[in-house]
Structure 1
Amino acid sequence: MKRITYLLGIMLLFSSCASTYFFSTIDSVNKETVKDEQGRLITQNDSLDIYYSFDGSDGPILITVYNKGKEPLYIDWKRSSIIIDDMATSYIGKTMVLSGSANVTTIGNSFYSNTSSQSSASLNGAITKEPESISFIPPNSKIEYKTMNLASLNFNKVDNNIYNKRTNVDKNGNIVPVKAASFTSGDAPLRFRSYLTLYKDPQKPFSMEQEFYISSLIKTNRIHPSNMSSFFSESSDLFYSKAK
């Protein structure tokens, strides 16, 4: 009896310590945007291709632009933004961590004595580093630009009643129970736009805008992101976040 009680206690301890994760799939509102085999969301025209990827923790936004034209193409990141809830945030601006130390020796030089002392100090903080605001793309070439994360999404606010019980498969082939929900662009818990300013001639800029939303959400405390099947972990349209 004591052994059974002990085992139940261990099980309760691990279940209470288990973290809840949300796995979100991104789709596009725009009909002209397609999704490739890697899960990248692609917008194309005669002169360029724009790829969006979101895979990773908290949805890091990776933008790839391929210049198919015969002339150089430029992207002005300072005039490009992600727009969430009508709030525009420029893609430019990153933070660098600053740390270091210093040793200082002080020498006294008076008429009566000649003494010295040594002290040390450490420096920690952060500085804002602004990357190049303009990207140059030669003809028939591409650039990749990794920006901020979608992050700061509190999926705990999503009504539990919208989830359905499903099963998923982890990378070891084990069948695991999860909760899942699907959304349209109208009722999604997150909908956002990406606005890019581009030009060949600085006097004639043009814009490209794509709109995205979360089309499905998986909630589980049974699968850690590192234990997801490769179908999910390698898909560019899926990101994960830890319950806040």
Structure 2
Amino acid sequence: MKTLLIICLAIALLSSCSTYQMNILSSTNTVHNERTGEFKLENDSVKILYSFAGENVPIHVSIYNKLNEPIYADWERSAFVMNKKNTSYADGVLQVNGTLSGTSVGRGIRYSDASINAQVTLPQNVAFIPPHSQVSKTITNVDGKEFQYIADTLFAKSKLPSGFGGDLKVKLAKFEQGKSPLFFKSYLTLYTLNNNVQKLITYQNDFYISEAFRSSLGPENFSDFGENRGDHFYIKIPN
């Protein structure tokens, strides 16, 4: 069994036409969930969750409305910014889900509950978020090439645990806050309506790569790298 594993790994190394760069993210102003890897910002009005799991740093953002009035997410005035390059959150399909609850007083007290599970396309790039409901959006047009430009001199030879037992050779780089070569921001613009007047609020969240390693093997080969973790993503660098 061990011999077969060595042969398979050798074939993969010889046949690979790409180098995989696995990246681990940290944030300067959100709460990090150590179990799921998600990043959270929460106050009395909203709960915002970020996840970047996948290839080429897809941005999964969920906004939960904690208020008893609607909130609107303005995607045209929201963006992902890295190296002075903006990636708009505008356009696309939104997944709306959540629950609604209410209480009415008449002849006795009545309680009501309802659920929401729908997809809507909003060409105006504004998402309507009902009270106590959530809207989710995924941005997949981020240029993954921006993450390739970590200088080779910043990587050192190391070993990481394999998902099949034993260790695998990699090139590893770790960065402290403020010294990371890749730092980016997310700007979200939300608003409520009062007599048709918008009350705007903008949230800025900061993220940076705190660790990266390169290998000719994909992320599924490393036990410490979870493809579904919100703080993990990977890119392919052509050889």
TM-score by length of 2: 0.73
Q: How many pairs are equivalent?
A: 198
Pick from 192, 199, 205 the counterpart of residue 191 of structure 2: 199
Q: 1:149 to 1:23 in 2, by over 3 A?
A: farther
Q: Is the 8 A contact 1:91 1:148 kept in 2?
A: no
Aligned mates of 1:20, 1:26 — CA distance in 2: 19
- Per-residue deviation, 1:163: 1.8
Higher strand content, 1 or 2:
2
Q: Which has the larger radius of gyration?
A: 1
Counterpart AA for 2:143: A
Counterpart mapping for 1:149-228 below 5 A? 149-153=141-145, 157-201=149-193, 202-221=197-216, 223-228=217-222
Amino acid at match of 2:213: I
| Alignment match of 1:69 (pick from 56, 67, 86) | 67
Kindly state the Cα deviation for residue 211 of structure 1 after the two structures are TM-superposed: 1.2
SS of 1:205's equivalent in the other structure is: strand
Matching of residues 54-133 of structure 1 within 5 Å: 54-93=52-91, 131-133=123-125
Q: What are the superposed Cα offsets for residues 104-154 of structure 1, whole Å, 9 maximum, x if unpaired?
A: xxxxxxxxxxxxxxxxxxxxxxxxx97451111122221110113433335
Matched, 1:145 2:137: yes
Task: Give the Cα separation in 2 of the matches to 1:203 and 1:231.
Answer: 43
- Check conservation: 2:144, 2:235, Cα contact below 8 A: no
Kept in 2, the 8 Å contact 1:55–1:237? The answer is yes
Q: Which amino acid aligns with 1:34?
A: V
Aligned to 2:110: none
Deviations for 1:138-186, whole angstroms, at most 9, x for unmatched residues?
2222111011343333555423232233222233234212111111332
> How much does 1:19 deviate?
2.5
Inter-CA distance 169–13: structure 2 relative to 1 (3 Å threshold): closer
- Quote the sequence identity (%): 35
Contact preservation (8 Å) 2:81, 2:186: yes
How big is the alpha-carbon RMSD for the aligned residues of Structure 1 and Structure 2? 2.5
